[in-house]
Structure 1
Amino acid sequence: MSHSSLKSSRIRRSYGQQKVYIPANHRENQYMSISLELTPAIQQQLNCVDTTAKSSSTAIEANTLINTTQILNTITRTFREVCEEYRLRNSLLIAKDKAVIVRYGEEPYIIETETQIFVFYDPKKHCQYKTIAKEAHLPKRITFVLLATGDTIRQRAAQFHQQVIACISALAEQLSIATTHFTFIDRQHITYDLFDAEKGNKETITHSFRQIAERYQHQGFLVPHNSQSERYIVATIPIQQQMIAMMQRYHQNEHVKNHQVVSKGKIGEIKDDVTKLQQVMENVVYNALEQTNLAQVAIVGNGHIPRIYKANKTTEAVINNNNVTRIEQVKDIALPQLQTYWQYNQLEDVIYLVFYGNEQDAHKKRYAKFVTKVHTALKQIAEELSFDKATHLMTVRFYQNLSYQLK
């Protein structure tokens, strides 16, 4: 058997495995994001519209301030009360129309940009209750964020999920709002450095990356039939000088091929030096995509943070809004497709690779096969680009989301 055939055989066998080795020092996060759209009917229900107000502009402005303050105070006070009742000690009320991103942090703090709110915390030791709102401003929707705590996040995930449902159901009852107005998203992350062993940390554990619904069923909770799930992996790759030098040599040796790439945000001709490096990255990633039979990957190299959404159509859409690149996953892709989002004439310090998973990537309700493919692809990319595994982090974050509306 040839060396290439032997290598392919080993890859196929590894893909069939039901568990993956990941670093023992991996981090787990879970948080529930519940949104309530503040429709006129709901505002009326909360008695935040005074129909007796006079029609003068001064009276309207004053009344708007009173109503806005009233609705925010009512929701904030009631939410805090039910959180205390159900012993949910790490919660946020977001009264701004901004995306919420939760990350691990040794110290608890919140960073707010024009379009995003970053929440950093350590689930093992941090608890907080906080309201983020703009005075006299009523957003389109209120977002309640409840963060899991403790050192057994995954084992207690179903229990935490049910705890949050009970809390929000109590909130809805006290506010006299039907639970059907609340949309739930259960968000879970597993984060680790792919090359942690190269840094001397040899201890690992096995992980099967089971589907949320399957895990919850084993823990005694059946998810609603109307629920939707999604899963994807985001790898963070810092660009180093030796990688740039390798990409320059790669291009000079004319290894670059023209693949089918869906490019967004890249302007200019190939003669531009930065564009050449970007094309090399595209080729290296596409080669790994073909070798591992991964259907969809996106390169986000425009300085923005990728936000992934499930598309309802077979077309892909992107919205570049300040620091956010919104990517909607394309359905029913048979051939490898690479989407790219570059910054013109600039190679960013960090590039994100987004790997989409679909139902075909699940084997016996587990995603170990999908994760193994992504690991193989990333290791191939790192090898071709001379990534310094011993000193630099290649952060891999596996996302699982479960969403539905309460009945």
Structure 2
Amino acid sequence: MLKVNSRINLIRKRSAADKVYVPSDARENQYVLVEFKPNLALLELISGKSNNGVYFSDFYRNLSHSFFNLCEQYGFENVSFIAKNKLVRVMYAQEQQVIETQQQILFMYNPEVHTGLRTFFNADLLADKIELLFLATGEQLRLNAPEFHQRVSELITTFSRLMSVDIGTFKIRDHQHLTYDVFSSVKGNKKTVTHGFRPLIKRYQQQSLILPKTNHNMTFAIASLPVNKSLLQFCDIDESAPDPYNPLYTYVSDLFVKIAKQYNLNQLAIVANGKVPIIRQDNEDYLLPKGELLYLGFKPVGSGGLFVSQWDSQNLVDTIKLVFIASEININKRGYGRFVNHLTEALKQLSFELGYKPNKDTVMLRFHQHLMYNLPKANDSSTGI
């Protein structure tokens, strides 16, 4: 009897390890970004003339007008037409706003209350690609994600037919974020929501949305460590030295790696130079600083582990970014929830050892799930849709 009970207890412990208990006040975001390349045939169809490469205002306005008409028909309430050759990013915010820099367009919104139609283009430039941004709105975004994704796909199919653009040239990127303070329960929010984390492609299949067999899944999390007075006291900082903050960043980096490896987390990055880490899945690992962005390429399969550290030892940043990237092993049926739980525990342990006070300090964790694929042509047999 003891053996039977021990076996049951072991099964329960393993099952619990696969589940993730997220604070009930965690913020959800979902957006789908569809991109395609414009060509001269489309330019002449929409604007009535080739324009000889200058003044594309009529082209963009007419094309966006057709897009917005379809959005109204398909029930989308927060969409944007973008032709700026800039990186599109989306974040949760109580106040809706769009921040544009030299390299980025950052959309900040609350999906429960914000709507809008926006157009961004440079009339003097035919963009390398046109991007159609669909921001999910309403409540229960994760539950409604398959239906939202399906409506985007149906709209794009109609749009490609109306514009006489090959459906196979459209690329769809589905992004979902879950953001919360790892110390939320200490601050009084004892309620949690149970998540059985699965790759997006699996979640969609289980809700009867079958996507093309050729696709790319990516999972990672980025934690934000605030640089406060208590953290600065861990190291002697000599303001007269040529690299005064190197001891601080080195200390945090070494401790981060040490704790992460205790939880078998092996694909990591620490960024403390003010740049925005952009994670990419690739056949090779790489590090590519590019202006205000830092591109990090990681291999999902066959990597024995990789640690990337980037900091500016001459300047003190407001926030240190810690990146945890899931490998192919992490996102199998049993490993997914365990990966999230392990990185959460590692982050809590690191925060405690760095002197953060859970009842006062906020350490935000943003969990990312991405899915990307090209829409198949009508005669393509490699798809399930």
TM-superposed CA distance for 1:80, in Å, is 0.7
* C-alpha separation in 1, matches of 2:342 and 2:15: 7
TM-superposed CA distance for 1:153, in Å, is 0.5
Match of 1:405 in 2: 374
Given candidates 273, 291, 304, the residue that maps to 2:275 is: 304
Match of 2:247 in 1: 276
Secondary structure, counterpart of 2:329 in structure 1 = helix
* C-alpha separation in 1, matches of 2:46 and 2:334: 43
Q: Quick check: 2:215–2:371 contact (8 Å CA) kept in 1? A: yes
Match of 1:359 in 2: 328
Structure 2's unaligned 5+ residue stretches are 1-9, 377-385
TM-superposed CA distance for 1:401, in Å, is 0.7
The question of 1:90 aligning with 2:101 is answered: no
* C-alpha separation in 1, matches of 2:315 and 2:71: 46
Q: Quick check: 2:201–2:211 contact (8 Å CA) kept in 1? A: yes
Q: Which amino acid aligns with 1:403?
A: M
Match of 1:176 in 2: 164
Q: In the TM superposition, what are the counterparts of 1:9-158 in structure 2 within 5 Å?
A: 17-40=17-40, 42-43=42-43, 46=46, 49-50=49-50, 63-66=52-55, 68-158=56-146
The question of 1:287 aligning with 2:275 is answered: no
Q: Quick check: 1:247–1:385 contact (8 Å CA) kept in 2? A: no
Question: What is the alpha-carbon root mean square deviation over aligned residues?
Answer: 2.2
Q: Which amino acid aligns with 1:143?
A: E
* C-alpha separation in 2, matches of 1:129 and 1:279: 45
The question of 1:376 aligning with 2:383 is answered: no
TM-superposed CA distance for 1:293, in Å, is 0.8
* C-alpha separation in 2, matches of 1:134 and 1:14: 54
Match of 1:57 in 2: none
The question of 1:246 aligning with 2:248 is answered: no
| CA displacement, residues 126-183 of structure 1 (integer Å, 9 cap, x when unaligned) | 1101101123322111110001111111111000001001111111111111111110
* C-alpha separation in 1, matches of 2:159 and 2:232: 54
| CA displacement, residues 196-254 of structure 1 (integer Å, 9 cap, x when unaligned) | 112122111211222211211221111210111101001111011111212449xxxxx
Match of 1:5 in 2: none
The question of 1:317 aligning with 2:305 is answered: no
> Paired residues, what number?
362
Residues 321, 217 of structure 1: alpha-carbon distance in 2 compared, 3 angstrom cutoff: same
Q: Quick check: 1:295–1:333 contact (8 Å CA) kept in 2? A: no
Match of 2:316 in 1: 347
TM-superposed CA distance for 1:355, in Å, is 0.5
- The normalised TM-score by structure 2 is 0.88
TM-superposed CA distance for 1:89, in Å, is 1.3
Segment drifting more, 211-220 vs 359-368: 359-368
Aligned-residue identity in percent: 30
Match of 1:337 in 2: 306
* C-alpha separation in 1, matches of 2:16 and 2:74: 42
Q: Quick check: 1:37–1:140 contact (8 Å CA) kept in 2? A: yes
Residues 21, 331 of structure 1: alpha-carbon distance in 2 compared, 3 angstrom cutoff: closer
Q: Which amino acid aligns with 1:19?
A: K
TM-superposed CA distance for 1:335, in Å, is 4.3
Match of 2:7 in 1: none
- The normalised TM-score by structure 1 is 0.84
Q: Quick check: 1:125–1:150 contact (8 Å CA) kept in 2? A: yes
Q: Which amino acid aligns with 1:23?
A: P
* C-alpha separation in 2, matches of 1:15 and 1:361: 16
Secondary structure, counterpart of 2:286 in structure 1 = coil
* C-alpha separation in 1, matches of 2:26 and 2:214: 32
Match of 1:237 in 2: 225
* C-alpha separation in 1, matches of 2:48 and 2:24: 51
* C-alpha separation in 2, matches of 1:218 and 1:322: 41
Q: Quick check: 2:242–2:314 contact (8 Å CA) kept in 1? A: no
